[in-house]
Structure 1
Amino acid sequence: MSGEIDDSMDIVDEKSSCIVRRFRLLSSAQRKITLGEILSCCTSEEISYIDQKLPDFLYRDFVTTLPLELAERFLEYLTVKDLLTACRVSKPWNRIISGMKIVWRNHCLKFGCNPVTISLSYPKNTCIRGMQIQQDLCDGSAWTQDAIVNLVKSPGRFSALHHDRGYIAGGTSDSIHTHANQDSSESVVIWSVENSSVVVSFPVSGSVSCIKLNYPSLVVCGHFDGTLSSHQVSGNTESDITPGGLLNKFRLHTAPVLSLDFDESEDVLISGSADWTVKVWQLSTGSLQRTISSHSHWVLSVIFTPSSKHNIQNLSGKDIVVMMTRDDIQMYSWIHFLKDNGESLKGLNISDIHIPLKSVTDAVQSFFFTPGLHFDGKTISFVKQMPMFDSHTFGDADIVTIDAVVVDLKYEKIVGGCTVPHSRATTPDFSQVCTGKLDWLDGFSDDSTNGLVCCLGLQDSSMHTVVWS
């Protein structure tokens, strides 16, 4: 009996194979006609069986069945929101899609995440955080603003600001500029961004035109009377110097000091003035080491970079100062004066680099200045010019800062920002405005998206801060 059943099954298998072979030889149109005739002959039970089998052919799970490399090629075209939706389809999908590191890393870069801080083991979390930050920037909730009042008495105002390590140094200026040998109501205030409180406040002799803080040890002020002063920030029990105590006065400029830079470890202070000179000082003693006077206009900005912090091969072993006037940008270099007794400084007559700006200003007006000079140890950067006329007195040029804007340079679009109040320029380089931590400009991360974004000194005697929410 069993033999007869086996024979009958073989006959069925043979007929099925024959039918399948003939079906494959048909054209597409003939196949459709044949399928229609077959379906018309099926019972309800057979139609139900076909209905159960069709999803296996129509809705194949390519995420789990395809090789991972091919699945990634398909999924990389989805947006992050679509990928997150796909992760909720099933546990296998969530496991596979969440583990596609290349897909998530590429999206991290699109959202502006810092490549160095992208998680190697689970970049999906970094991507979600980057998407949240960019969305917050877009809808204006990434930053919060605050007006800090009652730190100085009117008509005094914060004419110079600088940020370092979470602290803001603000120097004040009145409508009447005083001299160093007269009593002065001007002051310097050190403000903690994190605690929203004054760390130390102390008087200074003369209206402050520019300032730089190295917290917690030192703050140096440039003054409108042509002097500079260095002050202890924290107390020093060894020398009995109280917080804010005067360390040194630097005299010899004959016009307002418009810019300064220093490096405490190198014991160097650089100052640029409206007397068309740049001076190199020994920071600890106040002694003048060299005057660089080959300039045709006010020195708007100076940047000092010691030999250990730049990557210019042909100037290896030399300290560098980059300076900018209305007409040009120049770079000078020398061997540190403590290493060769100042011999290199004595021969400092010709600049290593000269970038003319005069041709740009001639195309518009000869009274234009270029605010914003930057040197990262390898590249010099500066922005286009904007008007500030010689006929105005200092601080009388009505430059209005309206928007703080974040621009995605790769995709050339604005991704967010905020509107800030009016701020009148104290100097051509806008010393009444300072920026906070700039790490986030190299890419978003949890460590970089906190603290101060920028701070402005306003005409109503207040400081206006913009911080990460």
Structure 2
Amino acid sequence: MEKAAFEGWLESVSAYFLTLSDQQRNQSLDQLISLSGAVQLRHLSNGLEALLKRDFLRLLPLELTFYLLHWLDPQTLLTCCLVCKQWNKVISACTEVWQGVCQDLGWRIDDSIQDASHWKGIYLKAKLRMMQLKDQEAFETSSLIGHSARVYALYYKDGLLCTGSDDLSAKLWDVRTGQCIYGIQTHTCATVKFDEQKLVTGSFDNTIACWEWSTGAKIQQFRGHTGAVFSVDYKDDLDTLVSGSADFSVKVWSLSAGVCLNTLTGHTEWVTKVILQKSEVESMVHCPGDYILLSADKYEIKVWPIGREINCKCLKTLSVSEDRSVCLQPRLQFDGRYVVCSSDLGVYQWDFASFDILRVIKTQDPANLSLLSFGEVFSLLFDTDFLYVMDLRTEKITGRWPLPAYRKSKRGSSFLPGVTSWLNGLDGRNDSGLVFATSMPDHSIHLVLWKENR
């Protein structure tokens, strides 16, 4: 017998003897002493064979069985389900095990659902979806056709996509059916935002307008900027609209009256993005529930208090480099807790409570890779050739999708993400609908959508 084989045999023998009681162990030793070498080996082999044939899933307490199952990888769990009906019944009843493997794949877990078969089914769907992402089979494409000139402005909400064009029109589309719901005559649009009743547009003609969808009538006009308006945001409960312009300023307007309440200065580059959002955290300068305005240019992000006072002063300026050697991209994101922005060095995430940089995600080509949306589990990025899904827990690309030659603008809003809830964790339902939209040189809008899993 070779040394390695003998050592393995010896370990098996030792393990076998540990399972015996003192009386059984003494009896076995007495028997071994009275037998020849070959007979001793046969006796031990028979004892080990009987031990190995014991069904530990039947013999162990259920709590201990579930604990042991936690150590198995998902594929082994599925293989074990095929051993027999009893094994399948026990393994399929372990809710925490299947919840755990779903979480490992980026699926959000609702602890109120304790049906193990539900989570096993979710895992199988999750595994299929992640394989599709890896194999470039998770998405499909379609196009919206109807504009006769460049489409520059895009905004998505609740299954509806608004497009603003140089053909002096804005259209509202049902992404699911591809049908145009509304089409109204406007000015040339650099940015758009809408709700059920109205559309707000910022224009290259330096003005902002508010339109009624049902009639196409202009409800309000906002004049005062001396450069193109690249970004707008508004809150009806504040009766406030904010705008960022190529004239380096941010303006705060009365939404209903159309009058300028304040002009915020301090930017030294085009203001390409403004966001009006409630803070969800507390710091030295703001409280939860306070309305905060973020404005971004090529190098800086400024934080302003809105609602406390008319003549507000900048609370904080966030930047990547003090010497302005690193550019920010206009895809600023703020959810009340974190500020996220992409730069030529990578994707930066700030904690809004402390204004500290929490993480910097380095990519292979950060100058050409743009941020679309940033979640808790996944991030959506793109370059001139592909749409990328990044797992933020590992900072690895888990899937990509080829893109056509589209009209990319580093200053404007000619591309956007669709449904973003799945970036905080897939839940078996939110992997549907629009993923990405961009304007094309032929004036159409190219859509990337989740492929339906039947």
| TM superposition score normalised by structure 1 | 0.76
Is the 1:108–1:118 Cα contact (8 Å) retained in structure 2? Answer: no
C-alpha separation in 2, matches of 1:37 and 1:288:
98
Question: Which range is displaced more, 102-111 or 73-82?
Answer: 73-82
Measured at CA, do residues 293 and 127 of structure 1 come closer, stay the same or move farther in structure 2, by a change above 3 Å? same
Partner in structure 1 of residue 9 of structure 2: none
C-alpha separation in 2, matches of 1:134 and 1:33:
59
Measured at CA, do residues 369 and 32 of structure 1 come closer, stay the same or move farther in structure 2, by a change above 3 Å? farther
Is the 1:162–1:435 Cα contact (8 Å) retained in structure 2? Answer: no
Partner in structure 1 of residue 232 of structure 2: 260
C-alpha separation in 1, matches of 2:410 and 2:30:
87
Partner in structure 2 of residue 78 of structure 1: 72
Measured at CA, do residues 187 and 33 of structure 1 come closer, stay the same or move farther in structure 2, by a change above 3 Å? farther
Q: Deviations over 1:36-61 (max 9, x none)?
A: 27979xxxxxxxxx98x986433221
C-alpha separation in 2, matches of 1:54 and 1:449:
50
Measured at CA, do residues 116 and 323 of structure 1 come closer, stay the same or move farther in structure 2, by a change above 3 Å? farther
Q: Which amino acid aligns with 1:277?
A: S
Q: Pick the aligned partner of 2:291 from 319, 322, 331.
A: 319
Q: Which amino acid aligns with 1:269?
A: L
Q: Does 1:457 align with 2:439?
A: yes
Is the 1:218–1:231 Cα contact (8 Å) retained in structure 2? Answer: yes
Measured at CA, do residues 111 and 436 of structure 1 come closer, stay the same or move farther in structure 2, by a change above 3 Å? same
Q: Does 1:211 align with 2:214?
A: no
Q: Pick the aligned partner of 1:65 from 54, 59, 67.
A: 59
Partner in structure 2 of residue 355 of structure 1: 318
Note the C-alpha offset of 1:70: 3.3
Partner in structure 1 of residue 99 of structure 2: 105
Q: Pick the aligned partner of 1:196 from 158, 178, 183.
A: 178
| Structure with greater helix percent | 1
Matches within 5 A, 1:178-327: 185-205=167-187, 207-214=188-195, 216-233=196-213, 235=214, 242=215, 244-306=216-278, 310-312=280-282, 314-316=285-287, 318-327=290-299
Measured at CA, do residues 327 and 31 of structure 1 come closer, stay the same or move farther in structure 2, by a change above 3 Å? farther
Measured at CA, do residues 287 and 72 of structure 1 come closer, stay the same or move farther in structure 2, by a change above 3 Å? same
Q: Which amino acid aligns with 1:24?
A: L
Note the C-alpha offset of 1:213: 2.1
Partner in structure 1 of residue 351 of structure 2: none
Q: Which amino acid aligns with 1:401?
A: T
Higher relative contact order, structure no. (Cα contacts within 8 Å, ≥ 6 residues apart):
1
C-alpha separation in 1, matches of 2:111 and 2:180:
33
Q: Pick the aligned partner of 2:430 from 448, 459, 463.
A: 448
Unaligned regions of 5+ residues in structure 2, if any? Answer: 1-22, 345-365, 369-381
C-alpha separation in 1, matches of 2:99 and 2:137:
25
C-alpha separation in 2, matches of 1:148 and 1:33:
86
Measured at CA, do residues 189 and 31 of structure 1 come closer, stay the same or move farther in structure 2, by a change above 3 Å? farther
Note the C-alpha offset of 1:82: 2.3
Partner in structure 1 of residue 136 of structure 2: 140
| Structure with greater strand percent | 2
Partner in structure 2 of residue 24 of structure 1: 29
Unaligned regions of 5+ residues in structure 1, if any? Answer: 1-17, 41-49, 174-184, 236-241, 337-343, 389-398
Partner in structure 2 of residue 152 of structure 1: 147
Note the C-alpha offset of 1:369: 4.3
Matches within 5 A, 1:317-466: 318-335=290-307, 344-345=309-310, 347-348=311-312, 350-359=313-322, 361-362=324-325, 368-385=327-344, 401-426=384-409, 428=411, 430-466=412-448
| TM superposition score normalised by structure 2 | 0.79
Q: Deviations over 1:110-141 (max 9, x none)?
A: 11101347843222222222212211211222
C-alpha separation in 2, matches of 1:369 and 1:245:
37
* Higher-Rg member (1/2): 1
Matches within 5 A, 1:89-100: 89-100=83-94
Q: Deviations over 1:308-327 (max 9, x none)?
A: x6333542364210111123
Q: Helix, strand or coil for the counterpart of 1:135? A: helix
C-alpha separation in 2, matches of 1:250 and 1:275:
15
Q: Which amino acid aligns with 2:147?
A: V
Measured at CA, do residues 108 and 31 of structure 1 come closer, stay the same or move farther in structure 2, by a change above 3 Å? farther
C-alpha separation in 1, matches of 2:41 and 2:164:
92
